[in-house]
Amino acid sequence: MRVSLLATLPLLGALAIGATPRQASAQISATIHLGKPVVVTNYSPEVYGDWHTNYRRWRPTTVYYYDGQWYPRSVSGGRAVVVYRNGSSYFMPPRDQDWDHKDHRYNYQRRPTDDDYNHVAPPRRPDDRH
């Protein structure tokens, strides 16, 4: 008995479907190393001194805000913000009106936004210095 070519096509199709590998679900996890976040606080004259006389001791430093944390090094997708550093403490610049463009070392194009001031820790007490 002779089988026609047309009759074998469905059989070949069924065999081809059964021979293809099935997709299995898989879990993929990735760890992105962002480094250790730093604590950025609001400026406090009680902790960092009156800005009029002490700002020259502070060092303008760029930190990167990403996913609710502040990082000392560039983070992909992070936003660069210039804050001040004094020793191991990072803090926002003063919000005094007279402060604007007072420090020529500071990059005012990367100054914190109003929202940034809401995403920092409260100022440390004077006895918490380190």
In this predicted model, what pLDDT tens digit does every residue of 19-64 receive, in sequence order?
Answer: 555 565 666 644 456 789 999 999 999 999 999 999 999 999 999 9
Does residue 94 carry a pLDDT above 90? Answer: yes
56-80 burial code (b ≥16 CB/10 A, e <16)? eebebbebbbbeebbbeeebeebee
pLDDT of residue 84: 97
> CA 75 to CA 71: how far, in whole Å?
7
Q: Does residue 22 fall inside a structural domain?
A: no
Kindly state the average pLDDT of the residues 15-22: 56
Q: Does residue 25 fall inside a structural domain?
A: no
Kindly state the average pLDDT of the residues 79-99: 95
Kindly state the average pLDDT of the residues 61-83: 96
pLDDT of residue 78: 95
Helix (H, G, I), strand (E, B) or coil at 32: coil
Q: Does residue 5 fall inside a structural domain?
A: no
Closest CA to 41 of 109, 102, 103, 128: 128
Q: Does residue 81 fall inside a structural domain?
A: yes
pLDDT tens for 103-126 read 999 999 999 999 999 999 888 776
Q: pTM for the whole thing?
A: 0.70
Q: Does residue 56 fall inside a structural domain?
A: yes
Q: Which domain holds residue 85?
A: 40-128
Place 14 in a pLDDT band, splitting at 50, 70 and 90.
low
Number of structural domains (the chain) is 1
> CA 92 to CA 40: how far, in whole Å?
7
Better pLDDT: 59 or 5: 59
Q: Does residue 69 fall inside a structural domain?
A: yes
Q: Does residue 17 fall inside a structural domain?
A: no
Q: Does residue 121 fall inside a structural domain?
A: yes
